[in-house]
């Protein structure tokens, strides 16, 4: 419960000007990196949003661990998360969905083998659906584990790295780095949008 509260405090820091950022950072630091990144790997499996973890990781742990180790820990946590969600959705939810569709007279469309990676990137590049739901959709669709992991870690890893670096820079007043990270996020979002548009225009 303390971890949930800390993440919520940091996520809404901007909405509460009377709250001092150092209090949130200290609160998260007391939980310890292993607890924090362990929770980052497990809680999104049950639908907890991933974004607050990325936002809080930089200010909380970069001063003590360094930027690169924090980014690597975040990527490792994301890897655990997407692996667990894949197993849950493909081996537990997919059989239920297939049976329900068959009972209704439908079938789950099969994605061609040469389209697996493109489909995974297309889902990851689509804004709106929560990260957890995207993982479930890919698992239910039967996308193999390797292309699923490549797309998931590529997209989520880049976002995590830029957000963590930007969050740490913001807490330390390095405005130039913050602007560079924001520009990087904008550029990456543009690349994903182009990929999504190309995928939508491609023939099935």
Alpha-carbon distance 182 to 139, whole Å? 31
| pLDDT score of 199 | 60
| pLDDT score of 17 | 52
Against a cut of 0.75, is the pTM above it? yes
- φ/ψ bin of 160: left (φ > 0), alpha (ψ from -120 to 50), beta (otherwise): alpha
Alpha-carbon distance 179 to 6, whole Å? 26
- Residues 154-193 pLDDT 10s: 999 999 999 999 988 888 888 888 889 888 888 888 888 8
Alpha-carbon distance 71 to 89, whole Å? 27
Beta carbons within 8 Å of 35's beta carbon, 6+ residues apart: 3
C-alpha distances in Å from residue 63, one per residue of 23, 68, 126, 167:
15, 11, 33, 12
Average pLDDT of the chain, as a whole number: 79
The pair of structure tokens assigned to 199 is 């995928």
| pLDDT score of 4 | 47
- Residues 8-48 pLDDT 10s: 444 444 445 555 544 544 555 677 888 788 888 887 887 77
The pair of structure tokens assigned to 113 is 């083998």
Alpha-carbon distance 154 to 132, whole Å? 16
């Amino acid at each position: 419960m303390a971890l949930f509260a800390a993440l919520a405090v940091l996520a809404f820091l901007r909405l509460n000007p009377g709250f001092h950022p150092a209090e949130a950072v200290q609160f998260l630091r007391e939980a310890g990196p292993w607890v924090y990144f362990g929770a980052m790997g497990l809680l999104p499996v049950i639908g907890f949003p991933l974004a607050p973890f990325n936002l809080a990781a930089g200010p909380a742990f970069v001063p003590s661990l360094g930027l690169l180790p924090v980014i690597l820990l975040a990527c490792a946590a994301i890897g655990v998360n997407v692996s667990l969600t894949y197993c849950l959705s493909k081996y537990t939810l997919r059989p239920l969905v297939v049976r329900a569709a068959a009972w209704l007279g439908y079938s789950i469309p099969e994605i061609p083998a040469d389209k697996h990676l493109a489909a995974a990137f297309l889902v990851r590049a689509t804004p709106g659906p929560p990260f957890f739901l995207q993982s479930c959709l890919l698992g239910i669709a039967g996308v193999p584990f390797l292309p699923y992991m490549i797309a998931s870690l590529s997209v989520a890893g880049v976002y995590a790295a830029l957000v963590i670096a930007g969050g740490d820079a913001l807490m330390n007043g390095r405005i130039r780095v913050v602007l560079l990270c924001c520009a990087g996020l904008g550029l990456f979002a543009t690349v994903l949008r182009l990929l999504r548009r190309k995928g939508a225009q491609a023939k099935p």
